[in-house]
Amino acid sequence: MTRMTGPIWVFSGSPGAGKTSVSRALLSRFPLGLHLPIDDLRELVVSGLAQPALDHPPEAVRQFALARTAAAHHARLYAEAGFAVAIDDVLWPTDVAPMAAHWAGLDVRPVRLYTTLEVAHFRNRTRTNKTYDTRVLAPLIDGLYGQMPPQSFREAGWAVVDSTHLTLEQTVEAVLGLTWPV
């Protein structure tokens, strides 16, 4: 039996944009789905984990690059086995090029999830999917907000979905309604 390759969604946005929730809800619509949160891959580091910061410490940059490369390999392996795949991370369009080198011939769908700063903070305060106090992310949300304008993602060929006034299911419908290539 020949399987079709599955799509690879790459979700970016600040903390609180909904990357993890949308990834999981989207993948639940497929018979085979794999979610690859970059944070989870990074947290497999037992000692020496470098935390993200707005000044981009070199060791954190290196560890993010390693996690993204691992995710790219996993995504290809699973997509070729027929899985729909979602990778989520705080990515800039230029961060995807090294990952995309592993995806020649695959259906890759980059999506920038966007919401207002107020909604991002609310979602961060009320989230339950992290094992740490999410208040530590508040300064990161503030700092990243201005650094990730949706228009720069559009110009780089990404789809942008504003989920400010959408439910999770409506956001998934908006993602599924996108046409590719964008």
Q: What is the pLDDT of residues 115-161, one digit of tens each?
A: 988 888 888 777 766 555 656 677 778 888 888 999 999 999 999 99
Span 53-72, average pLDDT: 90
Q: Is residue 177 part of a domain?
A: no
Q: Is residue 181 part of a domain?
A: no
Residues in the chain: 182
In whole angstroms, give the CA distance from residue 155 to residue 62.
27
Q: Is residue 62 part of a domain?
A: yes
Q: Is residue 95 part of a domain?
A: yes
- 37 pLDDT higher than 80: yes
In whole angstroms, give the CA distance from residue 163 to residue 114.
6
Predicted pLDDT at 2 = 58
- 77 pLDDT higher than 90: yes
Predicted pLDDT at 70 = 96
Q: Is residue 103 part of a domain?
A: yes
Predicted pLDDT at 59 = 93
Backbone phi, then psi, for 35, in 5-degree steps?
A: -105, 125
Predicted pLDDT at 1 = 54
Q: Is 109 left (phi over 0), alpha (psi -120 to 50) or beta?
A: beta
- Burial profile 75-105: b = 16 or more Cβ within 10 angstroms, e = fewer: bbebbeeebbbbbbbbbebebbeebeebbee
- 3 pLDDT higher than 80: no
Overall domain count for the chain: 1
Q: Is residue 180 part of a domain?
A: no
Q: Is residue 176 part of a domain?
A: no
Q: At 146, which CATH number?
A: 3.40.50.300
For residue 50, give the 3-state DSSP assignment: coil
- Taking all residues of the chain, what is their mean pLDDT, rounded to a whole number? 89
**pTM exceeds 0.85, yes or no:** yes
Report CA-CA distances (Å) from 123 to 62, 64, 91.
28, 24, 19
Domain around 136: 8-170
Q: Which residue has the higher pLDDT, 105 or 126?
A: 105
Whether residue 15 contacts residue 137, with contact meaning beta carbons closer than 8 Å, is answered with: yes
Span 36-57, average pLDDT: 88
In 3D, which of 48, 46, 52 has the Cα closest to residue 68?
52
Provide the pLDDT confidence category of residue 32 given band limits of 50, 70 and 90: very high
Q: Is residue 166 part of a domain?
A: yes
- 7 pLDDT higher than 80: yes
Predicted pLDDT at 129 = 66
